Amino acid sequence: MTSVLVKLLRAHLRPYQRPIVLIVLFQLVSTIASLYLPGLNAQIIDQGVITGDTGYIVRTGVVMLGVTALQIVCSVTAVYFGARTAMALGRDLRESVFVTVESFAAQEVGRFGAPSLITRSTNDIQQVQMLVLLVFTMMITAPIMCFGGIIMALRQDVYLSSLLVVIVPILLVCVVLIISRMRPLFRSMQLKIDLINQILREQIGGVRVIRAFVKDTHEQQRFDGASADLMDVSIRVGRLMALMFPTVMLVMNASSVAVMWIGGHRIASGDMQIGTLTAFLSYLLQILMSVMMATFMFVLLPRAEVSAERITEVLDTVPSVRAPAEPHVRTRHTGVVELHEASFSYPGAQEAVLHGASLVARPVRQLPSWGRPAAGSRHCSTSSRDWWTPPTGR
């Protein structure tokens, strides 16, 4: 399923390779600056505060301000280009779906249904667009911060870094278990949205018939049932999402307590400095925050996968009625339509409902004024006399 999403994004993001490269570069610089700050903070504590060197504190503080300013500029620029690229992707997808649907014959429109096509052109594309926006603004940063934080944490203290071998897998297992339960619910949610669109279109289009046959109560109950089904699925998804973030925060807080407890003993024994423990805590939080940022993407990923599959299904559909590549054009237009042994059958029918139909439709030509039949002619009917009546004022 993920391959469908990757294929769709690869095809429509190809024109935006240069902005994507800029996004990656700015996010890389911003993340490196973020990873550099805890080390400077540790130096201020160990070499400035403890020793009482005010000049060192000021000099290092100025460097930290410069790194922070660089981080802010790079982050804002990356978010700007990421948002523009994601919005452009949504525009291109809507255009592609619209052009494809315009080429559909009645058979394809009947197979998908107008409500489903509307949902695929709006809600499904919005889910893919939001996923791309999240990837450009957060997900590119997450792996860089995670691996960079692990390296910097190992530089601070190898013994404390062994806790990451336990903390990160526990967090990943909790997130994967929750996400695996959300994916089928997202697929069901899109189908429920299709059903609501269908019922609403039918009620708006047939409002006169509903009132004429006094079916207002029946249609209201029908819409309430579809809306209640969507609400039930949404509540189940919301419960899983509500469970995810407290789980992540529980792991993060428990990890901080474990680091503080073990680090306190190491400081008491003289194996670690206070600044090192502070920097390690900062790197630990950055690592866990990167996992949490990836969690945001994992929340949208199942729904975006389902939406990408539905969008691709429309884009890959070949219309049953297609214009010939080289149509036969007559040099003389006669206006005559001829059918020879034509047939018609509904999709999935065992046999055609119409077959062997042949006809010739010729154009009705208006005779000049001098060739009009006489008013008293026996060949001139009432309708033909009205037809040949000259305009008023002639």
- pLDDT single digits (tens) 225-270: 988 998 998 898 888 878 877 887 888 788 888 888 888 888 888 7
- pLDDT single digits (tens) 32-59: 888 888 888 888 887 877 777 788 888 8
CATH no. of 2-315? 1.20.1560.10
| pTM, full prediction | 0.65
Residue by residue, DSSP assigns 280-309 as HHHHHHHHHHHHHHHHHHHHHHHHHHHHHH
Phi, psi of 391 (to 5 degrees): -60, 155
Looking at beta carbons, which pairs linking 382-391 to residues 24 or more positions away fall under 8 Å? none
- Number of residues in the chain: 394
Tokens 């020879």 -> residue:
340
Q: Residue 351 corresponds to which amino acid?
A: E
Query: What sign results for the dihedral spanned by CA atoms 190, 192, 198, 201?
Result: negative
Q: Which residues partner with 361 through β-bridges?
A: 337
Domain parsing of the chain, residue ranges: 2-315
Tokens 């994507």 -> residue:
20
Residue 319 has pLDDT above 50, yes or no: yes
The predicted structure's pLDDT at residue 84: 93
Give 29 or 391, the one with higher predicted confidence. 29
User: How much is the mean pLDDT over the chain?
Assistant: 80
DSSP label at residue 343: E
Q: How far apart are CA 3 and CA 13, in angstroms?
A: 15
The predicted structure's pLDDT at residue 2: 66
Chain centre distance of CA 257? 38
Report the pLDDT averaged over residues 95-102.
91
Q: Residue 93 corresponds to which amino acid?
A: L
- pLDDT single digits (tens) 369-384: 555 555 554 444 444 4
Phi, psi of 385 (to 5 degrees): -65, -40
Q: How far apart are CA 12 and CA 80, in angstroms?
A: 19
What separation in angstroms does the CA of 28 have from each of 46, 115, 148?
A: 28, 43, 11
Tokens of 44: 């201020």
Residue 165 has pLDDT above 90, yes or no: no
